[in-house]
């Protein structure tokens, strides 16, 4: 029984799942190290790429902006420590 979920996932769907999972995990760990902020920025870039590839350009655009915001937070965290 598969509860209406597809048995086989496309490579794009797997990439998207990885990207948003990485975003969640790295966001949750940001207080431990500024490097998790950088990892969050990278995960946002992956989320942005996923959004554009699957045709949801607003999602891709917003994730791209989040990656820039996270990069700035990473930079500022390095200057204050």
- Give yes or no for a contact between 55 and 12, defined as CB atoms under 8 angstroms apart: no
Residue 16 near residue 54 (C-beta atoms within 8 A)? yes
pTM of the complete model: 0.86
Contact 44, 70 (CB under 8 A): yes
Q: State mean pLDDT over 3-19.
A: 84
pLDDT at 72: 96
Is 4's pLDDT higher than 70?
no
What pLDDT, on a 0 to 100 scale, did the predictor assign at position 15? 96
Residue 37: which pLDDT band, with cuts at 50, 70 and 90? very high
CA R_g for the chain: 15
Residue 15 burial (10 A CB sphere; 0-12, 13-18, 19+): middle
């Amino acid at each position: 029984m598969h509860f209406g979920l597809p048995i086989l996932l496309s490579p794009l769907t797997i990439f998207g799942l990885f990207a948003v999972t990485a975003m969640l995990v790295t966001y949750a760990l940001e207080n431990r190290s500024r490097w998790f902020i950088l990892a969050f920025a990278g995960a946002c870039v992956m989320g942005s790429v996923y959004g554009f590839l699957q045709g949801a350009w607003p999602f891709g655009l917003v994730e791209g902006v989040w990656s820039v915001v996270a990069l700035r937070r990473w930079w500022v965290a390095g200057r204050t420590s």
